[in-house]
Amino acid sequence: MRVLVTGGAGFIGSAVVRQYIAETDATVINVDALTYAGNPESLGNARAHPRHVFEHVDITDRSALERVFREHRPDAVMHLAAESHVDRSIEGPAAFVETNVTGTHNLLEAARSYWSELEGEAQERFRFHHVSTDEVYGDLGPEGPAFTEETAYAPSSPYSASKAASDHLVRAWHRTYGLPVVITNCSNNYGPYQFPEKLIPLMLLNALDGSPLPVYGRGDNVRDWLYVEDHARALRHVLAQGASGRTYNIGGRCERTNLEVVHALCAVLDELVPDEQGRYARLIEFVTDRPGHDRRYAIDDTRLANELGWQPTESFESGLRKTVQWYLDNPEWVERVRSGAYREWIDANYARRGRAV
């Protein structure tokens, strides 16, 4: 099998690539623009493997995508390339529209052209797997039922709106042109190799530096947390067994408030690397909330469990401990990722907020 993975040097994409190379006989064509969050070092041993082919291509470049399809002849596409950070989308929405909407359109058209020329079994088994987010559904009240695949879309941020648009494009290409697609919407991912602008690695690395742990508002926003290796296995499972035209929600079954996540992280650090200055939770600071911050996300993954037999293997506690240990064991990766651009972003995003009243 030959799988074209877009965004394969990113956080989730690199986990997918590592698993395909380590656990299957598949060849992976890895398409990535290597923006700030794309890091070839996240591919680990897969990077130099003979079944891993890297293409430094931006999905906004239609002609380059068409060349990749012609040269590598994939059996399936797993589309993960996206701008994905809500705060960045608030500061600069244009890049999110360009990558997530225009880029997805380009990939759909390149895939449709390629698929339409396939014959027989090759055409029947081809799949376009679009990887999306639970944020397209908007937010939930404290007691509201979890998102299902039938929940109406109500995106709140430029990021989630751009992902919602890309989801609609994928469904339209299936309905209008017959392109065989599957869509997955996942909850918050965490785990090794995550770029340190996201909540868990940001708090972890700040704590180790003795820096403040900036928590938005009162820290009562609720997310469902999914360990990235579980997510990667679910994605592979859906691509292999999902029904064409079907959407599947993927969750970790681990709802936590942001403040609970930070306290849990601090407790693990207290145990593994105690600080002589005191418990890490002393570093928590509440900062002004971001605009339009969704209160709660929750995933109902009944369809995925019942139809395809998938469920997560990691609890939040086990996944968090593995994540912390990985960052402690890989300081070289962390230091190389912490570029000047990263430091400038953290300063720009948090320094101007000040403490919440």
Task: Average the pLDDT over 228-249 and give the result.
Answer: 98
Domain span at residue 60 reads 2-189+227-253+293-315
pLDDT at 336: 84
Q: Centre a 10 Å sphere on the Cβ of residue 41 and count the other Cβ atoms it contains.
A: 14
- What phi and psi values does residue 217 have, to the nearest 5 degrees? 55, -125
pTM of the predicted structure, to 2 decimals: 0.93
Q: How confident is the model at residue 352 (pLDDT cuts 50, 70, 90)?
A: low
Residues 46-95 have pLDDT tens digits of 999 999 999 999 999 999 999 999 999 999 999 999 998 888 899 999 99
Question: DSSP letter string over 92-122?
Answer: -THHHIIIIIIIHHHHHHHHHHHHHH--HHH
pLDDT at 347: 67
Q: Is residue 265 part of a domain?
A: no
For helices 258-272 and 199-209, the axis angle rounded to 10 degrees is 40
Residue 192 CB contacts under 8 Å (≥ 6 apart), including other chains: 228, 322, 323, 326, 327, 330
Q: How far apart are CA 152 and CA 175, in angstroms?
A: 18
- The single residue listed with the structure tokens 């009243």 is 357
CATH code assigned at 304? 3.40.50.720
pLDDT at 357: 38
Between residues 323 and 36, which one has the greater pLDDT?
323
In percent, the amount of the chain with pLDDT more than 90 equals 87
Structural domain total, the chain: 1
Helix, strand, or coil here: 130? Answer: strand
Average pLDDT of the chain to the nearest whole number: 94
pLDDT at 35: 86
Residues 151-163 have pLDDT tens digits of 999 999 999 999 9
Q: How far apart are CA 170 and CA 174, in angstroms?
A: 6
Question: What tokens were used for 40?
Answer: 């070839």
Residues 207-216 have pLDDT tens digits of 999 999 999 9
- Rg of the chain (C-alpha set): 20
pLDDT higher than 70, residue 121: yes
Between residues 247 and 197, which one has the greater pLDDT?
247
Catalytic residue IDs: 134-135, 159
Between residues 22 and 347, which one has the greater pLDDT?
22
pLDDT higher than 90, residue 30: yes
Task: Average the pLDDT over 297-302 and give the result.
Answer: 96
Q: Is residue 54 part of a domain?
A: yes
- What phi and psi values does residue 259 have, to the nearest 5 degrees? -65, -40
pLDDT at 355: 55
